[in-house]
Every structure is written in structure tokens, then in C-alpha cells.
């Protein structure tokens, strides 16, 4: 045994000598200090280039007409004369199946406009078109700088990238002229490393029609056969308030209260409570201020990463938007922001101070909200130190949301990762309910953030959980009644 240990120690020493040699070689021969941050893209991988979100494009919705109405109008304006069909004088006669995409006029009123090369003219509505005309589309996107139609160039998950390919576009020419000489040389060889053309991302999911407040169908009932509502309140108190796992909660109930209950039953209670309480939490009148902060943090479900998005009222400290997602992208970001903005009776618009980190999804979300008449500005606080005026002014808002993330991580840590997505969503809903209505906050003199009159005269926490469930049930019933 001693001989084997001696061999292992000798091998470790040999590896250490090799590492030391390589480290000295790198320091001596590779000038790492020259690789400082600069504007030269050749020093850095292009995939780390910061996303730039351009202004919204011009959106044109083609308006269709009715050729019968147009023919009647023509007849009235010309003293009863009828618009005669087209007399074709060339060999290029449009197909009999061809109709005008704008007014649906039949083949008799359509000219071949360019000698069989695919362009046509409708005599009724005076519209030029081809087989791939704009009337076949729901909307047309045009560059706001040159008014040319954007071209779809790439399809990504949940969105399509449209690009302005006009070489004389003002946006492109300005971006090209701003490049340094070295970057121009690199651009000639690697144009994909630079963003010079105007781009727009069109999402193929209507994120503003997704139901944020739907309830799962597999929630268990509150018909207690073996236990009681009091025991359910105890389970929630230990599991949520005290941050104990379901197994430790079951152990405490057995060893302290003499209640034999399995950790699976504790989990079922938590899941059912989260389903019932969520409508009350989401529909509460928070009356938010105009200072909001947003951030995302990660959790794990069966060992795989999941992301939790929070939007907090920085003044009143309430969580007014939250969402759990599998991916860290724009869609869950928009859904979390939607939930937060729904709390406003009147959206504050430009008066809203919305703070986030440098993640590009917040800027893309800002652009999508502008399409729905919700115009606000995202202020991005980047880094850990106040290196600019924006960071100096708004750092305090970023610190509030980071503090919330740490509080959530403390409650999540005991779970050692969730076993399922419903379990993760259940914990998130209960955490928000506890944080907003039951947790004492030192910034508010150890008082709760939002007072509920029915809870003020209740001293014991299990009874408060029961009352919260009761209030939520009454809200659900009131919404279901005609």
C-alpha cells in the first residue's frame, strides 16, 4: 500500500511540474495583456457580439377591395357606362384561373403587363401584382430608413428574421462608414461577424393572447379523508415559511406533533394549495409604482436547467410578475412582463422606470410591447461596478431584484432540484404568495408587504394559510358565477 501511495505522489509531482512549465511558457510567449476589450471584432468571437435591437419597421396591412363594388362605382361616375373587359392584342394572355389578389376581379379584366414575365395589371382596381404579391400576406414589413420591403432570411425557433437587403439603405451606409479600416478589411472576408443591415424579428406566436392565469386540470381536491385543513396549514408553514424539504416536514410533523404523514402527501398538499392560491395572488390589487426591476435566475428540474423570471415593484417590494420556463429567451420574458403590466389600471408608458440587466431579451420584449401600444424604455444596468452614469443612477434598483433572487434561492436550495415541472411551478407560486402576503420584511419594520384584513387578526401561520386558501376559493367561485 505504501508503495502505491509513493507512486501516486510521484506522478502528481510530475504533473505539477508540467503544469508549471506550461504556465511559464504562456506568460512568456503570449501577450495576454494585449487582448483587452476594444472595438476590433477580430479579437473576439462574433457569437459574443452584443445584440442590437433596431427600431420597429413600417407595417403595412394590405387592404382588399371588391371588384363588383368598384364596377358599380365606375358605372355611376361615367353616366351608366360599363367598364369593358380587356381586349388582348398580344400572344401573352393571362390564365383563365388567374384573379386579381386585391379585388378578386376575374381573368377578363387582367392585362399581361410585361410580355409574359409574370407581372399583371388589374383594369378594375389598377393594381400591379405577380404570383408572389403582397396581398397574399397578412402584413408587409418595410425598412423605416429606405422604405424597401424586408426579406425573410432565417427561421429560428418562435421567430423569423427579416432583413433589409437594399445596398443604398441609409442605415446600411451609415453602419458601413462607421467601420474602422481594419474592420472593413475583415468585413470583406467575414461579413457574418458584423451587423450592418437593418433587422427585425417577427415572432410567430401571439404572446399577448396566451392565458397567463390558466389552472391545471389535475389538482387534487380538498376533501380530507385522513387528515384535516389544520394539518395542511402545518405542512405549508414548515415547507414554505421555514424552507424545509417535504421529507423534513414529514419528519417534524411526526416527531413534534405526532402526525404520521408521508413526504408524498406533503408534496400533494403543497401542489393543491399552489393551484388554489395562485388566482388570488395574480388578481390582487397591488397598485404598483412606476419603478420596476426584472431579472432571471436558474433552477434545476431532474438535473436540467430551468429559468425563473421575476418582476418586482422596487418601491413596494411586491412580486408582480413571475414565470418559470425551460429556455432563457424572449418568450418567457414577455410573459413575465405581461403579468406585471396587467397589474396597472393605466399603463404608465414613458413614465415607467424599468430596470434589467444586459440580457438582450428585455430589449426585444420592449420592441414587441411597442407593437401593442405599450411604449416604455428598458434601462439596462450592466456589470457589478458603477462604470457609467446609468449604473450609478439605477444600481439600487438592480440590487433589489438581486436580493430577491437570493431569497428565492434560499427557499429552493433545500429541494436539491425539483423532480418535475409541476413541482417547480408549485413551489414558485407558494413562494410568491408567502413573499407578498405572509413574510415579514425588515424594510417595512417586520411587517408584511400587502395587508389582507382577514389575516390581520389571525396569529398562527397555519391558520393564515387556511384563510388565504379560503379567500382564493371565494375569488374563483365569484369568477365562475354568471
The domain locations on the chain are 46-60+138-203, 67-136, 280-480
The pLDDT of residue 220: 45
- C-alpha dist (Å) from residue 222 to 74, 119, 272, 480: 71, 68, 8, 18
HSE, side-chain direction, 13 A CA sphere, residue 241: 16
Instruction: Provide CB contacts within 8 A for 420, sequence distance 6+.
Output: 301, 302
Burial track 217-230 (b if 16+ CB lie within 10 A, e otherwise): eebeeeeeeeeebb
- Inter-residue contact 236 to 267 (CB < 8 Å): no
The pLDDT of residue 207: 66
Which one, of 127, 114, 322, lies nearest residue 213 by Cα?
Answer: 322
Q: What is the separation of C-alpha 158 from the centre of its chain, rounded to a whole number of angstroms?
A: 11
Strand order in the sheet with 199-203: 151-156, 159-163, 199-203
Which one, of 299, 305, 329, lies nearest residue 427 by Cα?
Answer: 299
Let me know how many helices (H) and strands (E) the chain has, helices first: 13, 13
For residue 262, give the C-alpha cell: 408521508
The pLDDT of residue 35: 43
Q: Which CATH architecture has domain 280-480?
A: 2-Layer Sandwich (3.30)
Helix residue ranges per DSSP H, 178-292: 181-189, 229-236, 246-255, 263-283
The pLDDT of residue 475: 84
- Inter-residue contact 125 to 70 (CB < 8 Å): yes
Q: Percent helix, strand, coil in the chain (nearest 5)?
A: 45, 15, 40
- Is the C-alpha dihedral spanning 129, 133, 137, 142 positive or negative? negative
pLDDT tens string, the chain, 482 residues long: the values are 666 777 787 888 888 888 877 877 776 666 544 444 444 443 334 444 556 778 888 887 777 788 888 888 888 888 888 888 888 777 777 877 788 888 888 888 888 877 777 788 888 888 878 766 655 566 788 899 999 888 888 888 778 889 999 999 999 999 899 888 888 888 888 888 888 899 998 887 776 776 666 554 444 445 555 567 788 889 999 989 888 888 899 999 999 989 898 888 888 888 888 888 988 999 999 999 999 999 999 888 887 888 999 999 999 999 999 998 888 888 899 999 999 999 999 999 999 999 998 888 899 899 899 888 899 999 998 877 787 888 888 889 889 999 998 988 887 776 666 767 777 888 899 999 999 999 999 888 889 999 999 988 888 999 999 999 888 888 887 876 55
The pLDDT of residue 139: 77
- Gap between the Cα atoms of 265 and 16, Å rounded: 53
The pLDDT of residue 135: 58
Instruction: Provide CB contacts within 8 A for 218, sequence distance 6+.
Output: none
Amino acid at each position: 500500500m505504501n508503495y502505491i501511495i509513493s507512486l501516486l505522489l510521484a506522478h502528481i509531482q510530475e504533473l505539477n511540474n508540467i503544469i508549471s512549465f506550461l504556465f511559464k511558457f504562456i506568460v512568456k510567449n503570449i501577450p495576454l495583456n494585449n487582448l483587452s476589450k476594444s472595438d476590433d471584432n477580430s479579437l473576439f468571437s462574433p457569437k459574443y457580439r452584443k445584440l442590437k435591437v433596431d427600431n420597429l419597421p413600417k407595417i403595412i396591412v394590405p387592404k382588399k377591395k371588391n371588384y363588383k363594388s368598384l364596377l358599380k362605382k365606375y358605372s355611376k361616375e361615367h353616366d351608366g357606362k360599363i367598364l369593358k373587359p380587356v381586349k388582348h392584342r398580344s400572344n401573352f394572355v393571362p390564365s383563365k384561373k388567374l384573379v386579381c389578389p386585391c379585388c378578386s376581379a376575374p381573368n377578363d379584366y387582367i392585362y399581361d403587363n410585361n410580355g409574359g414575365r409574370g407581372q399583371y395589371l388589374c383594369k378594375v382596381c389598377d393594381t400591379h401584382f405577380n404570383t408572389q404579391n403582397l396581398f397574399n400576406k397578412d402584413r408587409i414589413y418595410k425598412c423605416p430608413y429606405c422604405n424597401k420591403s424586408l426579406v425573410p432570411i432565417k427561421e429560428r425557433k418562435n421567430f423569423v428574421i427579416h432583413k433589409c437587403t437594399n445596398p443604398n439603405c441609409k442605415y446600411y451606409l451609415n453602419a458601413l462608414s462607421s467601420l474602422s479600416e481594419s474592420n472593413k478589411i475583415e468585413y470583406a472576408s467575414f461579413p457574418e461577424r458584423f451587423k450592418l443591415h437593418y433587422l427585425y424579428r417577427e415572432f410567430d406566436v401571439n404572446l399577448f393572447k396566451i392565458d397567463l392565469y390558466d389552472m391545471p386540470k389535475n389538482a387534487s381536491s380538498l376533501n380530507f379523508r385522513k387528515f384535516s385543513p389544520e394539518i395542511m396549514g402545518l405542512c405549508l408553514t414548515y415547507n414554505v415559511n421555514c424552507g424545509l424539504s417535504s421529507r423534513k416536514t414529514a419528519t417534524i410533523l411526526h416527531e413534534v406533533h405526532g402526525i404520521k404523514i408521508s413526504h408524498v402527501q406533503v408534496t400533494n398538499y403543497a401542489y393543491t394549495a399552489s393551484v388554489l392560491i395562485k388566482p388570488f395572488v395574480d388578481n390582487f390589487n397591488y397598485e404598483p409604482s412606476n419603478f420596476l426591476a426584472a431579472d432571471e435566475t436558474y433552477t434545476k428540474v431532474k438535473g436540467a436547467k430551468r429559468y425563473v423570471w421575476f418582476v418586482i415593484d422596487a418601491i413596494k417590494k411586491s412580486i408582480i410578475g413571475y414565470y418559470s420556463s425551460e429556455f432563457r429567451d424572449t418568450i418567457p420574458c414577455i410573459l413575465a412582463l405581461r403579468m406585471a403590466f396587467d397589474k396597472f389600471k393605466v399603463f404608465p408608458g414613458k413614465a415607467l422606470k424599468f430596470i434589467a440587466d444586459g440580457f438582450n431579451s428585455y430589449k426585444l420584449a420592449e420592441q414587441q410591447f411597442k407593437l401593442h401600444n405599450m411604449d416604455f424604455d428598458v434601462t439596462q444596468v450592466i456589470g457589478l461596478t458603477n462604470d457609467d452614469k446609468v449604473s450609478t443612477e439605477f444600481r439600487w434598483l438592480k440590487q433589489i431584484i438581486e436580493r430577491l433572487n437570493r431569497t428565492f434561492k434560499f427557499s429552493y436550495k433545500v429541494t436539491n432540484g425539483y423532480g418535475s415541472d409541476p413541482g417547480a411551478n408549485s413551489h414558485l407560486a407558494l413562494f410568491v404568495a408567502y413573499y407578498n402576503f405572509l413574510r415579514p420584511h425588515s424594510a417595512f419594520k417586520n411587517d408584511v408587504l400587502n395587508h389582507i384584513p382577514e389575516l390581520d387578526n389571525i396569529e398562527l401561520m397555519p391558520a393564515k394559510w387556511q384563510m388565504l386558501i379560503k379567500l382564493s376559493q371565494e375569488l374563483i367561485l365569484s369568477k365562475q358565477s354568471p
